[in-house]
């Protein structure tokens, strides 16, 4: 039997794979237990007759986080994965008929804004300078490290400006509106609240760091589709000695006889796997409120502490295989709705399928022809959807509604060009990924305390850690990778080890 300390990672999502790489490089014996037939979590892919569709994240931001993950474990990302920049980062279609291509890079973006909306270029410069100050303080204090009192040790006088920006009162929308006059630009920047499943009219202004990150560092993609990232991390983890087992659902975490630490997990067939530490890469909110941690005496207290949390939004996915290519599209596209406030009212208060949602369309064959057969095109279509589920039958026929919007909108989709379709609704996220209430990002960020209430990486019991989009620091590829890194570093440093 190995004398290495064993760590079990529950779930083979991107955060769990990142954690496993760090832990194996640090000398731990690591076993990843994934309940589905393959790793990746929400970073998933479906294929049909030569079409490939990425089902989860379709944009890679902050590629330096990915490169650092590989470098820190003695590997080169280039040996496992090719990435490339995408231009324009996004093409925006507005209700009155105008179109804006968003380039990467602050200078190029501000110049494009000035050409699109004369007089607003300087406003964009001021807004992104404010975003840079947010980034300079949020990255070291909130994103790359645990959210604890140790963060105060990293404070330097140069951080004062960023801290003042971080504490600016008001919502994302309020600050955006203070910078811009053009309603199209306000709608464009308000959209970034949906990156963590929240609404711009309530999300704190500090989250305006999100557009800065995408614009300043650019939008990237993985060669072979975004699922190639999951495959690359899986291959690197195995090269480092990680054992990955699929189709092994974990029933619950086991605790020591005096409940002061974890001692392994029980899997679905009733067998027990012993471990010194457990990284929960399953949905953290589902773990705290469901069966995974129910064996601990404090489980009810954990449920009670989380029961008032507002879930983030969910999503409705529609994949379309088309018999032609559409020249109107860029690789990433947003078709805005006419009434943004109604969209968020239906999303967070009325909890109903959106009447006229903003539509995101990814067309990866624009960058890589092999993603679809010659002369054809596959679209990944995503619209916001309320979490909390509701009856599954409310989504019956919703694909036809979305196709109708795409037909009547600027993309002029002809339904007769649709060869095949595939859908995923909020209840599918709940069933397939144990997503809490079907939410994509755990709890929403619709209140000031949200960032501080996100599930911490070190759990309430020694040896228990969390990694993934519903844990600190949040959702999106780079933050999920950082989440796994933080959890692994805590274990390697002895945090939570008796």
Instruction: Write the pLDDT tens digit of every residue in 414-462.
Output: 999 999 999 999 999 999 999 999 999 999 988 877 766 789 999 889 9
Question: What does 318-383 look like in DSSP terms, one character per residue?
Answer: EEEEESS--TT--SEEEE--S-HHHHHHHHHTS-S--SS--EEEE-GGGT-GGGS-TT-EEEEEEE
Name the DSSP letter for residue 416: G
pLDDT at 389 over 60: no
Mean of the pLDDT values across residues 155-184? Answer: 80
Mean of the pLDDT values across residues 146-169? Answer: 64
At 433, phi and psi to the nearest 5?
-120, 10
Mean of the pLDDT values across residues 342-353? Answer: 93
pLDDT at residue 1, rounded to an integer: 37
pLDDT at residue 497, rounded to an integer: 43
Mean of the pLDDT values across residues 305-323? Answer: 93
Lowest mean pLDDT among 95-109, 268-282, 298-312, 364-378: 298-312
pLDDT at 35 over 80: yes
Cis amide linkage into residue 458, ω under 30° from 0? no
CB atoms within 10 A of CB 210: 24
> 3 pLDDT band (50/70/90 cuts)?
very low
Continuous segment of H or E residues that includes residue 90: strand 90-93
Q: For domain 6-42+224-309+442-492, which architecture applies? A: 3-Layer(bba) Sandwich (3.50)
CB atoms within 10 A of CB 144: 17
Mean of the pLDDT values across residues 272-285? Answer: 95
More confident residue, 291 or 448: 291
pLDDT at 85 over 70: yes
Percent of the chain with pLDDT over 70: 93
Mean of the pLDDT values across residues 200-219? Answer: 95
Q: What residues does 377 pair with on adjacent strands? A: 322
pLDDT at 148 over 60: yes
Q: Mind listing the pLDDT tens digit for each residue in 23-33? A: 999 999 999 99
CB 178 within 8 A of CB 148: no
More confident residue, 391 or 263: 263
pLDDT at residue 449, rounded to an integer: 72
CB atoms within 10 A of CB 316: 24
pLDDT at 167 over 70: no
Specify the pTM.
0.94
Report the first-to-last Cα separation within the chain, whole angstroms: 22
pLDDT at residue 37, rounded to an integer: 95
Question: The dihedral of CA 320, 324, 326, 329: what is its sign?
Answer: positive
pLDDT at residue 277, rounded to an integer: 96
Mean of the pLDDT values across residues 130-150? Answer: 81
Give CA–CA dist 309/253, Å, rounded: 23
Residue among 471, 24, 28, 20 at smallest CA distance from 234: 20
Mean of the pLDDT values across residues 479-491? Answer: 96
More confident residue, 200 or 148: 200
More confident residue, 170 or 79: 79
Q: Where does CATH 3.50.50.60 sit in the chain?
A: 6-42+224-309+442-492
Average pLDDT of the chain is 92
CB 409 within 8 A of CB 93: yes
pLDDT at residue 6, rounded to an integer: 95
Place of tokens 């089902």: 55
CB 72 within 8 A of CB 22: yes
pLDDT at residue 150, rounded to an integer: 62
pLDDT at 498 over 60: no
pLDDT at residue 13, rounded to an integer: 97
Mean of the pLDDT values across residues 155-178? Answer: 76
Q: Torsion angle, CA of 488/310/344/477, rounded to 10 degrees? A: 10
> 104 pLDDT band (50/70/90 cuts)?
very high
Mean of the pLDDT values across residues 296-310? Answer: 89
> 285 pLDDT band (50/70/90 cuts)?
very high
């Amino acid at each position: 039997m190995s004398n290495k300390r064993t760590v079990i990672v529950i779930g083979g999502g991107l955060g769990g794979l990142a954690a496993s790489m760090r832990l194996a490089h640090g000398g731990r014996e690591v076993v990843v237990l994934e309940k589905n037939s393959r790793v990746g979590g929400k970073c998933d892919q479906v294929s049909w007759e030569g079409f490939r569709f990425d089902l989860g994240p379709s944009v890679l931001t902050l590629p330096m986080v990915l490169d650092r993950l590989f470098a820190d474990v003695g590997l080169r990302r280039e040996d496992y994965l090719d990435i490339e920049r995408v231009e324009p980062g996004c093409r925006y279609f507005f209700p009155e008929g105008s179109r804006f291509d968003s380039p990467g890079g602050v200078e190029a973006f501000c110049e494009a804004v000035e050409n699109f909306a004369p007089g607003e270029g300087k406003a964009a410069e001021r807004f992104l300078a404010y975003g840079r100050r947010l980034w300079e303080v949020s990255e070291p204090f909130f994103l790359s490290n645990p959210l604890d009192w140790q963060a105060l040790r990293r404070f330097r006088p140069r951080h004062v400006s960023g801290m003042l920006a971080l504490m600016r009162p008001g919502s994302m929308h309020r600050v955006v509106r203070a910078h811009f006059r053009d309603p199209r630009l306000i709608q464009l920047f308000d959209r970034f609240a949906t990156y963590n499943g929240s609404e711009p009219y309530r999300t704190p202004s500090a989250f305006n760091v999100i557009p800065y990150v995408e614009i300043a560092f650019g939008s990237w993609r993985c060669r072979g589709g975004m699922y190639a990232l999951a495959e690359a991390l899986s291959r690197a983890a195995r090269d480092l000695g990680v054992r990955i087992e699929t189709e092994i659902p974990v029933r619950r975490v086991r605790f020591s006889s005096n409940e002061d630490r974890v001692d392994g997990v029980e899997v679905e067939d009733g067998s027990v796997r012993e471990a010194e530490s457990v990284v929960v890469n399953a949905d953290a909110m589902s773990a705290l409120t469901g069966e995974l941690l129910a064996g601990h005496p404090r489980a009810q207290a954990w449920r009670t502490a989380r029961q008032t949390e507002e879930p983030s939004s969910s999503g409705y996915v529609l994949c379309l295989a088309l018999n032609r290519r559409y020249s109107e599209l860029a690789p990433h596209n947003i078709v805005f709705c006419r009434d943004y406030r109604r969209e968020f009212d239906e999303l967070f208060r009325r909890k109903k399928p959106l009447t006229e949602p903003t539509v995101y369309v990814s067309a990866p064959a624009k960058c890589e022809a092999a993603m679809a057969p010659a002369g054809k095109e596959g679209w990944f279509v995503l619209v916001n959807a309320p979490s909390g589920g509701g009856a599954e039958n409310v989504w019956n026929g919703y694909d036809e509604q979305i196709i109708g919007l795409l037909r009547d909108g600027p993309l002029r989709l002809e339904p007769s060009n649709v060869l095949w379709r595939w859908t995923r609704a909020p209840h599918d996220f709940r069933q397939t990924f144990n997503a809490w209430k079907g939410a994509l990002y755990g709890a929403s960020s619709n209140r000031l305390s949200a960032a501080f209430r996100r599930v911490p990486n070190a759990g309430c019991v020694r040896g228990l850690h969390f990694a993934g989009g519903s844990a600190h620091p949040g959702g999106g590829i780079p933050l999920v990778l950082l989440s796994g890194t933080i959890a692994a570093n805590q274990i390697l440093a002895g945090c939570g080890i008796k």
